[in-house]
Structure 1
Amino acid sequence: MVNVKTPVDCLTKEDVRDEIDRLDEKLVRLFAERQGFVRRMSELKQHPDEAFDAERIEKMIAVIRKRAEELGLEADQVDLVWRTLIDWNIAFEQRVIAHRLEKSA
């Protein structure tokens, strides 16, 4: 079992780095799980243009920014991270859908 520390429990830079590494591992696993859903979405969509939904994106960002602020996290940081993630997901979906359409043509 991993001994999880809170920030105030970290007495050295190594302690802090160890906890950041532990969290980064969790984040990578979560991103991988999220990508599985993005991959599935690309299978359900019929055209690459469906990958971009401005209204959905802005609703998501607003919810995420609000939640970040509630947690004491800088909303601008979350906004940047999520927009980057969303941009990558859009491009991924467009590539997958286009490839599928090319194969079926």
Structure 2
Amino acid sequence: MSKSLTKKIANDVEDTLEDVAHALKKAAENASEETEDAIAKAAKTVALAAERLAAEAKPRAKALAERAANEVREHPIASAAAAITAAAALISLLARANRKSA
């Protein structure tokens, strides 16, 4: 579970970086040399921050997954009830979305 959450966070960070890079590239096309340098520095800073965030997310995701697993072991009936309630809510939201789009 923690691996999939970590991968999702890493993918989200990569997607965000791609969006930022694309926006910066578009801005740089019409920018002066000084502005291009500032944009390049900003892009580098964003990339470093994303790497740090991804590195920090892994241990946090693992700890969260372990804590959730412990809760499930300690309270299996309550956990099952919560999972069923969450699934029902998700199904309800999906059904409502389908009715709106139809």
- Could you tell me the TM-score, scaled by structure 1's length? 0.37
More helix by share: 2
Larger C-alpha radius of gyration, 1 or 2? 2
